[in-house]
Structure 1
Amino acid sequence: MTTIILLTLSNIFMTMAWYGQLKFPNWTIPMAIIVGWGIALFEYCLAVPANRIGYAQGFTGGQLKIIQELITLIVFAIFATVVLKEPIGWRYLGAVLCIAGAAMFMFVGRS
């Protein structure tokens, strides 16, 4: 559970770092990069321990990656809806279901 919580928090920071600057169109690109790097530092400080803990607990690298991707899609959907005011349509939901299906394949046969 620690891995999932840390990956979720890291994805919140990364989503803000990558897409939060879209709410500030007057920022210069260098300004957006500097702010994004500052936010991404916190993401990295959470993602590295999340992956190390998860790997030590028996997750494979592939399983950790697919978990991270699924969390990313969920966090981004919330961010896009709440912050960017973008609707989430059927195509996005279909893509999430495909990634969820891929996640299930990564865990088939895991004891």
Structure 2
Amino acid sequence: MNSLALALPIPLQSALLLVASNVFMTFAWYGHLKSMASKPWIYAALVSWGIALFEYLLQVPANRIGVQALNVGQLKVMQEIISLSVFVPFAVFYLGQPFKLDYVWAALCLVGAAYFMFRS
């Protein structure tokens, strides 16, 4: 293992891998809506599966590393917070969706979820 990974706290290592995983996941799940809108769904599905492979190559180690310091509930809530943090800029800047206050309210709900999952 490289020395940088060893210097980072386990939850941060997991979070960074989950951020990268979520970028792939978001493109796999939603990228085809813009880039392959005129193609048959089967092409979009095959491309999405290919992209999702890279998601899983990052997500599985993220969870295996993270479970050394966090419980699975904490990992799941962290993943959801990261997912929304990646999805909102993707939706606004890549898909051209308008920013809505609903994103803020959802984020506040996740702050509450994080509070309950990470409190002692």
Give TM-score scaled by structure 1 length.
Answer: 0.95
The equivalent of 2:60 in structure 1 is 48
Segments of structure 1 that go 5 or more residues without pairing to the other structure are none
In 1: Cα distance, 2:98 partner to 2:110 partner: 20
Q: 2:18 aligns with which of 7, 32, 35?
A: 7
In 2: Cα distance, 1:87 partner to 1:100 partner: 23
Q: 2:115 aligns with which of 91, 97, 104?
A: 104
The equivalent of 1:28 in structure 2 is 40
Q: How far 1:47 moved relative to its partner?
A: 0.3
Give TM-score scaled by structure 2 length.
Answer: 0.88
Segments of structure 2 that go 5 or more residues without pairing to the other structure are 1-11
Identity within the alignment, %: 51
The equivalent of 2:104 in structure 1 is 93
Letter in 2 for 1:66: V
In 1: Cα distance, 2:99 partner to 2:80 partner: 17
Q: 2:80 aligns with which of 66, 69, 84?
A: 69
Q: How far 1:101 moved relative to its partner?
A: 1.2
Q: Does 1:83 align with 2:107?
A: no
Letter in 2 for 1:49: P
Q: How far 1:25 moved relative to its partner?
A: 1.0
